[in-house]
Structure 1
Amino acid sequence: MRKFMNLIMLLFVFSILMIPQPAFGNQKTVYVVPVEETVEKGLYAFLKRAVTTAEAEQADAIIFELNTPGGAVDAAGEIGKLLTSSDVKTITLVNKQALSAGAYIALNTDAIYMVPGSTMGSAAIIDQQGNTAGKKAESYWFAAMKSAAVQNNRDPLYAVAMADETIDLPQYGAGAGNLLTLTSDQAVEVGYSEGTVADLDELLQKLGYADADVRSVEESFAEKVARFITHPVVVPILLTIGSLGLVLELYSPGFGVPGFMGLSALLMFFYGHMVAGLAGFETLILFIVGIALVILEIFVPGGIVGAIGTISILGSLFLATDNVVHMGISILIAIGISIITSIIMIRVFGKKMSLFKKIILTDSTNTESGYVSNRNRTELLGLEGITLTPLRPAGTVLIGTERIDVVSEGEFISKDQKVIVVKVEGVRVVVRSKQG
């Protein structure tokens, strides 16, 4: 009986232990997300996954550890919307720099902290060539920076000064052509930073998350690849490699290295944009259909099939982006470089490179190589004949027993007149009137 009671007690204790217990002290959950390198569409895909995960786990806060020189304005705009729409508290820890688009991202979070020596600001909007953007784009960016500051109760003057070099704040080195860039101390002074901390651990302690369940969100390999591929500089490079490879493949038999490189570059382009959430399978299918139609044009001449294929390819590229202007510039760069490179490689290196020896015809059908295009009738020189037809100036002459097509030197020679052969150029036999 005693053994039976002991077994009952053991089962009771075990069942108690199996019941999920609340965390001691109501443990909080904090997600830490690194934001590094250039801001582009691939970063947006990563941050969206991180925010979605934190919301699903009902986290208490998300800490974004920023160290970025900035990047694409359109990507920063999407990230800003993502952060402001989240129900989870968002906190930025500027660990070294939050410049340009990075400053805009920081301003869209609920709180900002900085480590000593960090900077935030210098948010001028520039184009892909490194020049200041037009007035329309600047106006949009000024308004976006101001709105990001206002929504989190920060003085918008300093946010606009980060983007507008005409705002005079001499005490912070801004104005007279200089954009505002705040140090960690200056950010605290103007209310753009809630405080300066040595590192992430000190920030967690300061916020009351010292005993929290801290979870790091790292980029997956696919997201890293997507960030690299969607970089504004990498896109035209991939398109150039793709177009150049396919152009060279058209002049080579079979399927070789140029075609493999071209298709690989283009597939990488679509892969990165699909991972970043910019493109779907429909864009890839449209691209494949376009390539098939261009190849079909080789066997079905007329131009219509090839034109439809080209339009399909270009359409798929534009559908894979949300910035038509940037994509248009990238395509023009790719086409221009492909044309120039093709001309240089064919004209300068064509005879030296083994690849071009296979795709360029170097033989000539000359006499020295043993080729004879037509019989040369040099044996007719000086022979006489009788015109069988009038020469106006072409006609027929009987020389011996052979009828030969001839031409006069431009004069009219009537029928049954004596002529003499004065010149032979291949099959062209020139005669002159015997009386002349």
Structure 2
Amino acid sequence: MKRLAREVWIKALLVRPALARLSLVLFALLLLSSTTVFGRQTADPSTSNRPLVLVAEVDAIIHPVSAEYMVQVIDRADATNAELIVFILRTPGGLVESTRTITSRMISAKTPIVVFVAPSGARAASAGFLITIAADVAAMAPGTHIGAAHPVSGSGQQLDEAASEKAASDVAAFARSLATQRNRNVEFAEQAVLESRAFTENEAAEAEPPLIDIVTADLDSLLEVLDGRLITRFDGREVRLRTADARVERIQMTWRQQVLSVIARPEVAYILFSLGTLGLTIELWNPGAILPGVVGGLCLLLAFFAFQVLPVNLAGVVLIGFGLGLLVLEAMVTSFGILALGGIVSIALGSLMLIDSPMPELQIGLSLVLPMTLALSGIVFFLARLGVSAQRRRAVTGRAGMIDEFGLALTTFEADGSGQVVAHSEIWSATSAEPIAKGDQIKVVGVNGLTLTVRRLASALQEGDKQ
């Protein structure tokens, strides 16, 4: 008993130093983390005293995705009590409803908003013009322009006179309202809508009253100009901006928004539509393949999402479908290439007409149309040709595959015409209306369940010669 107690005492002495060392390590880590935390806490006041400026770049068509992105930036600025939001804008235009969503949130924002059309060479056309004049401060870089805000239909078709006048009048009233509330040039704002007039940065800044507030080269110079500037908010409140020594935080789109924004590009939408059409064509010619149908359906769904925010011409969609139909017919009917040529031309014309817009950013170029047309036409024609050849090929399996097969009689056929033969490397029971001796070559002329109907090969060949 004494020996056991002694061993326990010795082990306790050995464990105590280890526990002591462990305690020292834990205490050191706790002290280090506390120092780090307190160090951050002491650094926070100096950081928080600096004004926060959120910067977001909008380089895309104005559609639901870009509207969601801009609204999220404004929500974040209001939640963090930011000093200012700067939207660096470059857009050929977009949807009126998305524009109204953006401008409505801009007007109600607690945080002042600057829209900066930049860099040099950029433009804020159509929807971008309305977003620019809705901002608390409108700025442009040298060599940029805004305007050309006359509405067009979302399908890319020309509106009839009555509908066009109604749509233009509605957007013009919207532009006048924004310009009036922001003390901008109402006449120029109306001309941008009704006459599709565009303005350079100097024309917009030198108008009386001006259409924009600032012309400056880049973001740094913009923040310098804005520091100490007194602005009037949409509700009439006056706010003096503090942008000197500001903390600039750039807000990026989420990965989902980036993916959807890329899909909404005309060239990507066209490629998705082409791949989707090809996938469904392959599935129709080869039912049960599954993968082409699934991929094709997914591509078409994504393409149709993009078509909702693009000026799509339905005639282009019809022409592409018609061209694919002609290619399939060429594989089934001998037309000496006339149907194939018509299909290729139809697909090419449909591709060029698919996106109907005067804006170069929304047009699909020949550099993409020609390779896609040739590739799509070649693949569809090749697959259709394979399908037709397979349908015309003689069956090689099952009951139909046994017809016209040759074999050998294993037995002499009895008086009732029954016997055994080997055909297609298999032994079959067979019947024949003529005498067949063992070892005679035979030809299968029919199948009845598991019994073949055969003839002597010599007789079959003689009858074939007579025919």
| Letter aligned with residue 156 of structure 2 | Q
2:358 aligned residue = none
Give the whole-Å Cα distance in 2 for the aligned partners of 1:34 and 1:258.
37
Deviation at 1:151, TM superposition (A): 2.5
1:228 aligned residue = 262
After superposition, residues 204-353 of structure 1 pair within 5 angstroms as 204-208=223-227, 209-231=243-265, 238=272, 241-242=275-276, 245-255=279-289, 258-266=292-300, 268-269=302-303, 334=317, 336-337=318-319, 339-349=321-331, 353=381
- Whether 2:157 is the aligned partner of 1:158: answer no
Partner of 2:327, secondary structure, is helix
Give the whole-Å Cα distance in 2 for the aligned partners of 1:102 and 1:125.
12
For residue 177 of structure 2, the aligned residue among 144, 147, 154 is: 147
Give the whole-Å Cα distance in 1 for the aligned partners of 2:331 and 2:69.
44
2:349 aligned residue = none
Quick check: 1:64–1:92 contact (8 Å CA) kept in 2?
yes
Partner of 2:116, secondary structure, is strand
**Number of residues of Structure 1 aligned to a counterpart in Structure 2:** 295
Quick check: 2:282–2:383 contact (8 Å CA) kept in 1?
no
Deviation at 1:239, TM superposition (A): 5.3
1:76 aligned residue = 99
Deviation at 1:188, TM superposition (A): 1.8
Deviation at 1:200, TM superposition (A): 0.8
Deviation at 1:160, TM superposition (A): 0.7
TM-score, normalized by length of structure 2? 0.54
Partner of 1:22, secondary structure, is helix
For residue 129 of structure 1, the aligned residue among 156, 175, 200 is: 156
Deviation at 1:60, TM superposition (A): 1.0
Deviation at 1:253, TM superposition (A): 3.3
Quick check: 2:55–2:249 contact (8 Å CA) kept in 1?
yes
Q: Deviations over 1:294-322 (max 9, x none)?
A: xxxxxxxxxxxxxxxxxxxxxxx9xxx6x
| Letter aligned with residue 90 of structure 2 | N
After superposition, residues 407-418 of structure 1 pair within 5 angstroms as none
Q: Deviations over 1:295-354 (max 9, x none)?
A: xxxxxxxxxxxxxxxxxxxxxx9xxx6x8xx89x777864x3464133212112458944
For residue 43 of structure 1, the aligned residue among 41, 62, 66 is: 66
Give the whole-Å Cα distance in 1 for the aligned partners of 2:267 and 2:101.
20
Partner of 2:90, secondary structure, is strand
For residue 198 of structure 1, the aligned residue among 202, 217, 232 is: 217
| Alignment CA distance shift 1:357-1:253 (3 Å) | farther
Give the whole-Å Cα distance in 1 for the aligned partners of 2:303 and 2:189.
35
| Letter aligned with residue 215 of structure 1 | E
Quick check: 1:239–1:266 contact (8 Å CA) kept in 2?
yes
Give the whole-Å Cα distance in 2 for the aligned partners of 1:107 and 1:260.
45
Give the whole-Å Cα distance in 1 for the aligned partners of 2:315 and 2:71.
31
Deviation at 1:236, TM superposition (A): 7.3
2:129 aligned residue = 103
Q: Which moved more, 1:213-222 or 1:154-163?
A: 213-222
Give the whole-Å Cα distance in 1 for the aligned partners of 2:39 and 2:59.
43
TM-score, normalized by length of structure 1? 0.58
Quick check: 1:69–1:99 contact (8 Å CA) kept in 2?
yes
User: Greater helix share, 1 or 2?
Assistant: 2
Deviation at 1:230, TM superposition (A): 3.4
Identity within the alignment, %: 27
Partner of 1:193, secondary structure, is coil
Deviation at 1:227, TM superposition (A): 1.5
| Letter aligned with residue 189 of structure 1 | E
2:392 aligned residue = 363
| Letter aligned with residue 340 of structure 1 | F
Deviation at 1:216, TM superposition (A): 0.8
Give the whole-Å Cα distance in 1 for the aligned partners of 2:250 and 2:392.
65
Give the whole-Å Cα distance in 1 for the aligned partners of 2:111 and 2:220.
20
Give the whole-Å Cα distance in 2 for the aligned partners of 1:210 and 1:137.
43
Deviation at 1:108, TM superposition (A): 1.4
Runs (4+) of structure 1 exceeding 6 A deviation are 329-332
Deviation at 1:32, TM superposition (A): 0.9
Give the whole-Å Cα distance in 2 for the aligned partners of 1:153 and 1:260.
54
Give the whole-Å Cα distance in 1 for the aligned partners of 2:40 and 2:279.
62
Quick check: 2:142–2:201 contact (8 Å CA) kept in 1?
yes
| Alignment CA distance shift 1:87-1:113 (3 Å) | same
Give the whole-Å Cα distance in 2 for the aligned partners of 1:331 and 1:196.
42
| Letter aligned with residue 54 of structure 2 | Y
Q: Deviations over 1:123-164 (max 9, x none)?
A: 121234364672222222112222221232223211110011
Q: Deviations over 1:32-53 (max 9, x none)?
A: 1112132222211221222222
| Alignment CA distance shift 1:142-1:363 (3 Å) | same
| Letter aligned with residue 206 of structure 1 | V
| Letter aligned with residue 50 of structure 2 | Q
Give the whole-Å Cα distance in 2 for the aligned partners of 1:151 and 1:203.
23
1:381 aligned residue = none
| Alignment CA distance shift 1:97-1:120 (3 Å) | same
| Letter aligned with residue 140 of structure 1 | D
| Alignment CA distance shift 1:241-1:330 (3 Å) | farther
Q: Deviations over 1:49-100 (max 9, x none)?
A: 2222222222111001112222223322222222222211100111132111
Quick check: 1:252–1:358 contact (8 Å CA) kept in 2?
no
Give the whole-Å Cα distance in 2 for the aligned partners of 1:61 and 1:18.
25
For residue 87 of structure 1, the aligned residue among 96, 101, 110 is: 110
1:304 aligned residue = none
For residue 188 of structure 1, the aligned residue among 174, 197, 205 is: 205
| Letter aligned with residue 212 of structure 2 | S
Partner of 1:211, secondary structure, is coil
Give the whole-Å Cα distance in 1 for the aligned partners of 2:226 and 2:146.
21
| Alignment CA distance shift 1:61-1:350 (3 Å) | farther
| Alignment CA distance shift 1:188-1:342 (3 Å) | closer
| Alignment CA distance shift 1:333-1:257 (3 Å) | farther
Deviation at 1:267, TM superposition (A): 5.0
Give the whole-Å Cα distance in 1 for the aligned partners of 2:101 and 2:157.
22
1:33 aligned residue = 56
